[in-house]
Structure formats: structure tokens, C-alpha cells
Amino acid sequence: MDSNKVDAFIISNSNRLPESQISLIRETLLSTDESKTFSIQAMQFKDPTIALIISLIGGSLGVDRFYIGNIGLGIAKLITCGGCGLWTLIDLFLIMGATRDANLKKLKAVLYQ
């Protein structure tokens, strides 16, 4: 991929990906085949701030985990009513990082297919 396209991608999605992985993502994108450029640029990532808001509103029902694609954890959280509130409280601190990790997993799926 062209370095200008990579920089534009990083700037527009840096808040949706883990900070510790940005340099590795940049290097990987620079070495990526041009045929994947459109697929990568067209990707829609989940917003960690929206995930936090959803966690505040519907966290005890697992809605936040459903939003980021963790269906199993969402069902478990729904059945246990957010682990009697404890899991909901913990997720308020973890959901933004989990959202960024889910976005990274989605990006890697496209990069390494």
C-alpha cells in the first residue's frame, strides 16, 4: 500500500485500534498488496466510545458485548444479569480496550486472508 494511504488510514482509525499496535499495523499495511487496499479502506470499525455508552446503558444485559461481536460473552452476561452487577462494573473499564482488540482482529482477518 502507498504510504500516503497508510498514513490516512492510521490517522482516521487510530482511536479505534490499540495504541500499542499502531506501529506494527503501519508496517504491515506498507507491505500489503495493493489489491487489498479497497477492502481495508472500506472497513467499518466499532467506536470504543459508543461501546462505553452502550455499556453504561445496557451493560447488565450484555448489549455491549453483542455490539463488539462477543456473542458468547454477551449471552453469559445476559443470563447472569451482568454477573450480578460485578461484571458490568468491571466491563466499564475494559470495554473500550476490548472494542479496540475486536477491531484489530477484524483488520488482521482482512490482512492475512
Q: What is the DSSP string of 11-45?
A: HHHGGGS-GGGHHHHHHHHHTS-GGGHHHHHT--P
Cell of 102: 475486536
pLDDT digits (tens, 9 = 90+) for 38-55: 999 999 999 999 999 999
Q: What is the pTM of this model?
A: 0.90
Q: Which regions in the chain score pLDDT beneath 70?
A: none
Cα(18)–Cα(97) distance, rounded to whole angstroms? 7
Count of domains for the chain: 1
Range of the domain at 84: 3-111
**Chain centre to alpha carbon of residue 20:** 14
Cell of 33: 498488496
For residue 15, the model assigns a pLDDT of: 96
Task: Label residues 47-65 b or e (16+ Cβ within 10 Å = b).
Answer: bbeebbebbeebbbbbbbb
Comparing CA positions, the residue from 47, 28, 22, 29 lying closest to residue 100 is 47
